[in-house]
Amino acid sequence: MKRITAYYLLAILAGWQVKAQTLSPFKKGDKVAFMGNSITEAGYYGSNIWLYYMTRFPDQRITIYNVGIGGDVVGQMNERFEFDVLPKKPNFLVLTFGMNDTGYFEFNQENAEETTKQRIQTSFQNFGLLQAKLKAQPGITPIIMSSAPYDETMRNKNNYYKGKSKAMEQIVAFQREAAQKNGWPYVDLFHPMTEINLREQKVKPEFTITGPDRIHPGRGGHLVMAATFLKSQGLAGKPVAKLDLDAKKGVISVENATVAINKKPGVSLSINYLAKALPFPIDSVSGVWENPQTQADALTVYPFIEEFNQEILKVRNLKKGRYDLVIDGQKISSFSSDTLEKGINMAVLGNTPQYRQAAEIMYLNDLRLDLEKKLREYYWLQYNYFKGQNMLFEDSQLAFEKAEEKAKADWFVKSKMGTYQTARFPEVRKMWQDNIDQLTNKIYQMNVPKMHLIEIVAVK
């Protein structure tokens, strides 16, 4: 690591005192490409980020592209930059790498220390090549994002590579330095997620926010990744809506919504409520191969609800007793007057009309992601197999037959062949992309918040 250390020293002497640029929220019309390895290709953290924008800023449409390829190191990202990123014409590129760059089995070999130094040096040099390309694209703002951590400390016999986490920290360090030098935004996933692991493992040694293989986060880990990114954008603490109401005096304060008081006999409080956002729906299914983790699992170790999903309703001056929360004529739940005075979070009530609306958007967004994954599998074969055969994007019958033959001995190629059988035809890929576009259009039609009648009714 002597060359990298010397590089840092020269940088300091040259006056690299520029701090990484603040990462502002995306704005209407922004096109954001997430470039990375298999964690990015899985698509969940990018999809979660987009779902947040779909529900929180329904009138500010953005586009997010998945540009992940499983197994990639930064050198491979550099090689496919012109073909895989530029045609999408993003104005933001979120670049993350480090998991594969540091290697795996090398840590169990006798010359592990020297091999690790060489791999980190190679990653550093290739990152420099990609930086040069990014600087030559003034229309693209790079966002450097560290890798999610390799969980070296969990109690698990799978994929244990002693020292890999420390090696990844060295890559994180030069990523952060590059962001500071260039004045680019920087997002740290590595350290916050590592802190969660270490904290929870004190109580439960087998805990991991990553996954059983120590490498690939499950749905819960992807939610934490998305939350960490959104927090870097200054979006933590921004509510869906906040209503502070008085049963006798009316509106005390309202945030991110409009409220009109109705006078209705037999009802303690009646309002017409129009929020400017929708709650963030939480899924309870797993989706990452051999990782049972769900989004709901992450809620026990990361304060996602507190930071990103607050739709607060406070009602003061109610007579002591219990009250039904009724929305659009449907009873949602019952609460005591004391609970209503302290405030309830409607965003965690899965049977409200606004939550159901958000859940429908989530399901469409998941369908969009499923189609996008098919396209990424196609590109995986192009860059991880056909490129080495000098058959990049040839997609001929010969190419298909060669891939079929390779699949007999290569599990990774085999896993993509079901998709490639049809994806090799441009008409099929166009159909998938058209469906993605149609789903996105539908989402941005459905995500407009609706007016709701909220009533607080005394339980008799």
| Measured distance CA(410)–CA(253) in Å, rounded | 62
Residues 335, 458: one domain? Answer: yes
pLDDT for 286 equals: 73
Residues 163, 87: one domain? Answer: yes
| Measured distance CA(254)–CA(264) in Å, rounded | 21
Domain span holding position 326: 241-276+310-460
Per-residue pLDDT band for 5 (boundaries 50, 70, 90) equals very low
> Among candidates 282, 269, 280, 281, which has minimal Cα distance to 243?
269
Is residue 347 included in any domain, yes or no? yes
Is residue 172 included in any domain, yes or no? yes
Q: Which run of H or of E encompasses 371? A: helix 353-384
Per-residue pLDDT band for 284 (boundaries 50, 70, 90) equals confident
Beta bridge partner(s), residue 187: 145
Count of domains for the chain: 2
Q: How far is CA 388 from CA 89, 127, 228, 391, 403, in A?
A: 26, 21, 36, 7, 12
- 112-135 pLDDT per residue, tens: 999 999 999 999 999 999 999 999
Q: What is the mean pLDDT of the chain?
A: 94
Residues 351, 449: one domain? Answer: yes
DSSP 297-314: HHTTTS-HHHHH--EEEE
pLDDT for 16 equals: 36
Is residue 282 included in any domain, yes or no? no
Task: Name the percent of the chain lying above pLDDT 90.
Answer: 90
Residues 138, 253: one domain? Answer: no
Residues 205, 318: one domain? Answer: no
Residue 149 pLDDT > 90, yes or no?
yes
Task: Name the percent of the chain lying above pLDDT 70.
Answer: 96
Residues 38, 165: one domain? Answer: yes
Per-residue pLDDT band for 19 (boundaries 50, 70, 90) equals low
Residues 134, 263: one domain? Answer: no
| Measured distance CA(449)–CA(157) in Å, rounded | 48
Mean pLDDT of 66-85: 97
Is residue 269 included in any domain, yes or no? yes
Per-residue pLDDT band for 285 (boundaries 50, 70, 90) equals confident
Per-residue pLDDT band for 20 (boundaries 50, 70, 90) equals low
| Measured distance CA(47)–CA(322) in Å, rounded | 40
pLDDT for 290 equals: 74
Is residue 209 included in any domain, yes or no? yes
Residues 184, 139: one domain? Answer: yes
Residues 317, 435: one domain? Answer: yes
Edge-to-edge strands, sheet with 311-316: 250-255, 241-246, 311-316, 344-345
Is residue 155 included in any domain, yes or no? yes
Residue 13 pLDDT > 50, yes or no?
no
Mean pLDDT of 373-398: 96
Instruction: Look at residues 177, 203, 232 and tell me which one is the last residue of a structural domain.
Output: 232
| Measured distance CA(418)–CA(66) in Å, rounded | 20
Instruction: Look at residues 176, 206, 232 and tell me which one is the last residue of a structural domain.
Output: 232
Residues 205, 341: one domain? Answer: no
- 220-273 pLDDT per residue, tens: 999 999 999 999 999 999 999 999 999 999 999 999 999 999 988 889 999 999
Least confidently predicted of 280-284, 334-338, 380-384, 427-431: 280-284
Is residue 456 included in any domain, yes or no? yes
Residue 364 pLDDT > 50, yes or no?
yes
Residue 18 pLDDT > 80, yes or no?
no
What is the pTM (predicted TM-score) of this model? 0.94
pLDDT for 334 equals: 98
The CATH number of whichever domain residue 30 belongs to comes to 3.40.50.1110
> Among candidates 192, 363, 228, which has minimal Cα distance to 282?
363
Mean pLDDT of 383-407: 96
Q: Are 93 and 33 in contact (CB under 8 A)?
A: yes
Residues 183, 322: one domain? Answer: no
Residues 218, 324: one domain? Answer: no
Residue 287 pLDDT > 90, yes or no?
no
pLDDT for 441 equals: 98
pLDDT for 21 equals: 76
Residue 431 pLDDT > 50, yes or no?
yes
Q: Which run of H or of E encompasses 327? A: strand 322-327
Is residue 302 included in any domain, yes or no? no
pLDDT for 460 equals: 85
Mean pLDDT of 391-407: 97
Question: What pairing do the DSSP bridges indicate for beta strands 241-246 and 250-255?
Answer: antiparallel
Mean pLDDT of 67-87: 97
One-letter amino acid of 302: Y
> Among candidates 371, 381, 373, 367, which has minimal Cα distance to 431?
371
